[in-house]
Amino acid sequence: MPRQSKNTPKIRANRRQRAKGTFALSRVLDIVQNENRQLAQKDEQSRKRVQELEEQLEERQEQVVEIIQRNWMREEEHSRLVVERNRLRARMENLEKKLYK
């Protein structure tokens, strides 16, 4: 086996260095797991919010449809009443003409 010179770094780590490396690695692992938990919580919160918004949107769409239907019914009733009013006016004019002749 060739001898290492003083300037060449040692390949083997001593116990303290290995322990520090293991500690650092476990610390990094803890950080990554914590971040993953936080991201999972945020993801769940976002999914719930999206579901709530979709439900609200569906309710509002139903309300809009109901409002449009009511407005359409009002317009139909208004048109019917205008036609009836005009028919009655025309009938009244005819009766007045007959009366004054």
Q: What is the pLDDT of residues 72-99, one digit of tens each?
A: 999 999 999 999 999 999 999 999 998 8
Residue 21 near residue 13, CB atoms below 8 Å: yes
pLDDT at 11 over 80: no
- Of 43 and 17, the structure prediction assigns the larger pLDDT to 43
The pLDDT assigned to 6 comes to 57
Confidence (pLDDT) at 19? 65
Tokens 């569906």 correspond to what residue?
A: 58
Does 18 or 1 have the greater pLDDT score? 18
Q: What mean pLDDT, rounded, does the chain reach? A: 87
Nearest to 31 by CA among 23, 20, 41, 43: 23
